[in-house]
Structure 1
Amino acid sequence: MSVKIQRPKLPPALLEGGLPSTFTEAEYYQGHNVTDEDYMYQTAERLHFDQLIFSRVSFENVTFPQIEITDVIFDKCNFSNADFSDAVIHRAEFKQSKLTGANFSGAALRHVTFDDCMGNMAAFGFSNQRHVQFSMCSLRQADFYESAFKKVDFKECQLDSSNFAETSLDGIDFTTCEFDNITISFDKLAGCIVTSEQAIGFSKAFGIVISDE
């Protein structure tokens, strides 16, 4: 499946740096290129990020629930254990970033790419995702419980021990991904695209004994 993703719409030039060292609740931040900054452990609700580029920026352990992110690129950033629950993310790119334990539960994602990211144990439960691509990401033990997918692509991802329970996998292509075990719901599996070897793994997950004798 080829998912068409709209790229972030950025102006020809952005202001270098210039964002405050501490974010303020419900504040609007726009039009900057931010490099090598550290925002660890900050807390602010309902932030607005618009037309920004963050490079090598740490958002480790931040608590930013209900953040709105539009036309933003995150390059080599650290979101370990960050709380972006109930976020609205539109036209954003996460490139070579660390998302270990990050919380995107309940988030709405539209035209978002995760490229070569470390997302083990990341939480996407109850998220609503449209035109989203995970490419060459490690998503071991990641949680997608009861998510809504439309035009979502997993390409060359590590999905071992990930959780897709109660999530419809209709149209989801796992053929380029790797996993030994994965949690899925039998009644949500119709239309999922897998290799023959992966299909055997799915069968074993439901207790089906396969015999060629």
Structure 2
Amino acid sequence: MKNSKIKKIISPKLPSKLEEIQLQDKNIENEGLFLSGVIKDCLFEDKITEKLTFKEIVFKNVVFKQVIFRQIDCTDVRFENCDLSNVDFREGVFHRVEILNSKILGANFSEVALRNVIFNSCDARYAFFRFLDCKQVGFENCLLQKSDFQDSSFKNIYFQDSNLQQTEMSGTKLEGIDFTSCDIDGIGVRPEDVYGATVSSIQAVSLSRLLGIKIVD
């Protein structure tokens, strides 16, 4: 279960009613702005932008293909049933964001700042989360095999019922994180990284082998 000491993650602050809006090429440009609306059932393709801003936006059933969103600003945003595979979000900011039941296979979140963000039921295998700056972030029921969280900063972050097989986390302090509901077989860590983390007895044996420790009866 989620660590009871984790502070509550603040949900996106969205108006009770949002009108559907259309993606327009004139706004899909550097420093473009999308404000207060629902974007759904469409394809977002072949776009390269910097400093694009989404505020009070709900994405539903949107496919992002061959998209680069460098330094994106997402505030009060929800992604539902979207395909964000291989999207480049490097150096972006996500504040009060939910990513629900979505694919983020191979997506690049390197050097992204995450504040009050939930990933729930997402396929995030092979995703890049290097050099993350995380505060108030949760991964729930996610596939994170072979993803990369190296050299990241974690504060009030949790992983619940998620698959972290062969995930790389070296250089990231995992103190205070409870992994007991997750599969961490083959996780890449250093001894100093896992100091203060909570694991099950079976997980401890697996980690001992990974860290070169011999356990004898």
Percent sequence identity is 38
Residues 1:105 and 2:120 aligned together: no
Residues 1:52 and 2:57 aligned together: yes
Partner of 1:10: 14
Do 1:19 and 1:32's aligned partners in 2 also have CA atoms closer than 8 Å? no
Partner of 1:157: 162
Do 2:66 and 2:87's aligned partners in 1 also have CA atoms closer than 8 Å? yes
| CA displacement at 1:21 relative to structure 2 | 4.7
| CA displacement at 1:181 relative to structure 2 | 0.7
Runs of 4 or more, structure 1, over 4 Å off, are none
Partner of 1:129: 134
Distance across 1 between alignment mates of 2:123 and 2:45: 18
CA RMSD for the aligned pairs?
1.0
Partner of 1:194: 199
User: What SS class does the counterpart of residue 178 from structure 1 fall into?
Assistant: coil
Q: Which has the higher strand share?
A: 2
User: What SS class does the counterpart of residue 197 from structure 1 fall into?
Assistant: helix
Do 1:18 and 1:32's aligned partners in 2 also have CA atoms closer than 8 Å? no
Distance across 2 between alignment mates of 1:128 and 1:59: 24
Do 2:190 and 2:211's aligned partners in 1 also have CA atoms closer than 8 Å? no
- Superposed CA offset, 1:157-176 (max 9, x none): 00001000000001111000
What is the TM-score with the length of structure 2 in the denominator?
0.95
Alignment length (residue pairs):
212
Do 1:139 and 1:158's aligned partners in 2 also have CA atoms closer than 8 Å? yes
Distance across 2 between alignment mates of 1:161 and 1:74: 26
Which structure 1 segments of 5+ residues have no match?
none
Partner of 2:186: 181
Distance across 2 between alignment mates of 1:21 and 1:193: 48
| CA displacement at 1:60 relative to structure 2 | 2.6
| CA displacement at 1:198 relative to structure 2 | 0.5
